[in-house]
Amino acid sequence: MSGNDERRVFAHYMVGLTCNQKPEQWLRDVQCAKDCGIDGFALNIGPCDPWTESQLDLAYSAAEQVGDFVLFLSFDMAAGSWTVPQVVASINRYKLSGAQMVIDGKPFVSTFEGPGWGENWPIVREETGGIFLIPDWSSLGPFGVGEKLNLIDGAFSWDAWPKAGSTKMTTTEDVLYKENLRGKKYMMPVSPCLYTNLPQWNKNWYFSSESLWYDRWQQVLDVMPDYVQILTWNDYGESSYICDTVPEQIVPGAEKYTVDYPHSALRALLPSFIAAFKSGKSTVPPPQRNTAVAWYRTTPCSAGPDGDTQWGHGGCGSALNGARDVVSVVTLTKEPCPLTVSIGEHRWTFQAGKTSSVSYYEVQFDSTMTGPVRISLDGNTTEGLAIVNECCHGQVRLQIPLL
């Protein structure tokens, strides 16, 4: 499928988690993503997993079967050493698929990192008949990427979370990428959150994300990039997943902060935000039905220790300094209507949608406010996990359930 000038939204799919995955799961994932307005998957692949090719075959088959859904390869250059013949063979195997994302007649290709591999891409272009390359070389930053324009057709940034020590995401990097790309395509990252605690990979950090999912989509409408990539569809190890939970894909150690913590409700906001993005408008259109999505941590920061979790990757501060005790709520409404947020016996009431079809609210809590979290919008109520004033696995809970 081609789309030279169309704005597109993709989601990052970790193929490395799909050992022995059945065709039915690929069909479910593709259909589920398509139903919420996502145009395709960026298929993250490493050079060493023996199931990569068979699973890519299933992925492309599923996308072809569902229809109107695209795929492209994202070579994970941090997962091992790729050879030029490997990359060429992978691109050539799928470039003629009806589900392959194509720009200017060339297969769309991306990466996770790998600027040191950059001088190999001209050989890949020659041996594949041409590619449309939009790599993530975030380690170079926007100025460094701007010095590599002879090798690329655009760039993707992995900078989807607030910096270490910061509580809010800005568009500074996005604007710099657009400026330094000098008219070449920019793919902007969007993510709901990031928390990881996997000692086997020396990963233990948390990024501030109380309003991130809402903020970032608003920023997309301000920046209006060529493409958006959601980070991620299914990275359970970093808690950034928006898919329906697939237990077989959860890496060892992550089950303690992913099982019983579904993130699928995040997708309820996508049709409206994606429609606004594709229309080129900064205002979000009214939804087909009133919707509220909420997320929160289930313990206050004062409940116990931080488990040595850092505030941001490379940060030196405690994650508890960057985590705020709030219930975050986003509403999409056709007209103004009452919103009630409850924690146990404590209640807060708002008038949702007074000035816009999309609104963001926060309710602060502390150690004296415990009990089930309930959200009521226009008379419809849902209940989530209780907030408790006690630790889980020896530390404050930094994972987030959703309503």
Domain co-membership, 78 together with 101: yes
- Give the per-residue SS3 of 294-349: EEECCCCHHHCCCCCCEECCCCCCEHHHCCCCEEEEEEECCCCEEEEEEECCEEEE
Rg of the chain in Å (alpha carbons): 21
How much is the average pLDDT of 47-56? 98
Three state DSSP letters for the chain: CECCCCCEEEEEEEHHHCCCCCHHHHHHHHHHHHHCCCCEEEEEECCCCCCHHHHHHHHHHHHHHHCCCEEEEEEECCCCCCCHHHHHHHHHHHCCCCCECEECCEEEEEEECCHHHHHHHHHHHHHHCCCEECCECHHHHHHHHHCCCCCCCEEECCCCCCCCCCCCCCCHHHHHHHHHHCCCEEEEEECCCEEEEEHHHCEEEEECCCCHHHHHHHHHHHHCCCEEEECCCCCHHHCCCCCCCCHHHCCCCCHHHCCCCCCHHHHHHHHHHHHHHHHCCCCCCCCCCCEEEEEECCCCHHHCCCCCCEECCCCCCEHHHCCCCEEEEEEECCCCEEEEEEECCEEEEEEECCCCCEEEEEEECCCCCCEEEEEEECCEEEEEEEECCCCECCECCCCCCEC
Residue 308 lies in a domain: yes
- 20-40 pLDDT, tens per residue? 999 999 999 999 999 999 999
Residue 150 scores a pLDDT above 80: yes
Tell which residue, 253, 275, 261, 300, has the closest CA to residue 396.
Answer: 300
**Could you tell me the CATH number of the domain that includes residue 136?**
3.20.20.80
Domain match, 252 and 363 both? no
- Distance separating alpha carbons of residues 260 and 386, to the nearest angstrom: 12
Same domain? For 262 and 118 the reply is: yes
User: Is the overall model pTM greater than 0.85, yes or no?
Assistant: yes
Q: Are residues 340 and 314 in the same domain?
A: yes
**Checking phi first, is residue 362 left (phi over 0); if not, alpha (psi -120 to 50) or beta?**
beta
Same domain? For 275 and 298 the reply is: no
HEC secondary structure over 93-105: HHCCCCCECEECC
Between strands 337-343 and 346-352, the pairing is antiparallel
Residue 125 structural domain:
8-279
27 and 49, same domain (yes or no): yes
- Would residue 64 count as lying in a domain? yes
* 232 against 307, higher pLDDT: 232
Asked if 28 and 149 sit in the same domain, the reply is yes
Percent of the chain with pLDDT over 90: 93
Pair 199, 248 in one domain? yes
**Confidence class of residue 1 from pLDDT cuts 50, 70 and 90?**
very low
pLDDT grade, residue 382 (50/70/90)?
very high
CA pair distance 333, 284, nearest whole angstrom = 10
Residue where a domain stops, chosen among 234, 253, 279? 279
The Cα 28–Cα 17 span in angstroms is 16
List, for residues 100-112, the tens digit of each pLDDT value. Answer: 999 999 999 999 9
What does the pLDDT read at residue 315? 87
Count other C-beta atoms under 10 Å from residue 88's C-beta: 18
- Rounded percentage of the chain residues whose pLDDT exceeds 70: 96
Q: Which amino acid is at 349?
A: T
Check: CB of residue 97 under 8 Å from CB of residue 59: no
CATH code of 368's domain = 2.60.40
286 domain-assigned: no
Find the mean pLDDT for residues 344-365: 96
Note the pLDDT of residue 81: 97
Q: Is 402 contained in some domain?
A: no
Q: Is residue 2 part of a domain?
A: no
CA dist 348 and 336 (Å) reads 16
**Domains held by the chain: number:** 2
At 73-97, the pLDDT tens digits run 999 999 999 999 999 999 999 999 9
351, pLDDT greater than 90: yes
Q: Is residue 401 part of a domain?
A: no
Q: Same domain for 274 and 362?
A: no
- Is there a single domain that holds both residue 258 and residue 297? no
133 belongs to a structural domain: yes
Cβ atoms of 386 and 296 closer than 8 Å: no
Q: Confirm whether 166 is domain-assigned.
A: yes
Mean pLDDT along residues 70-74: 98
What pLDDT score does 391 carry?
82
Burial of 290 per CB tally in 10 Å (0-12, 13-18, 19+):
buried
Phi, psi of 261 (to 5 degrees): -125, 70
- One domain for residues 357 and 245: no
**228 & 299 share domain:** no
Q: If you average pLDDT over residues 137-147, what whole number do you get? A: 98
For the chain, what is the mean pLDDT? 95
Of 37, 29, 34, 56, the C-alpha closest to 45 is: 56
Which of 279, 314, 343 delimits the end of a domain? 279
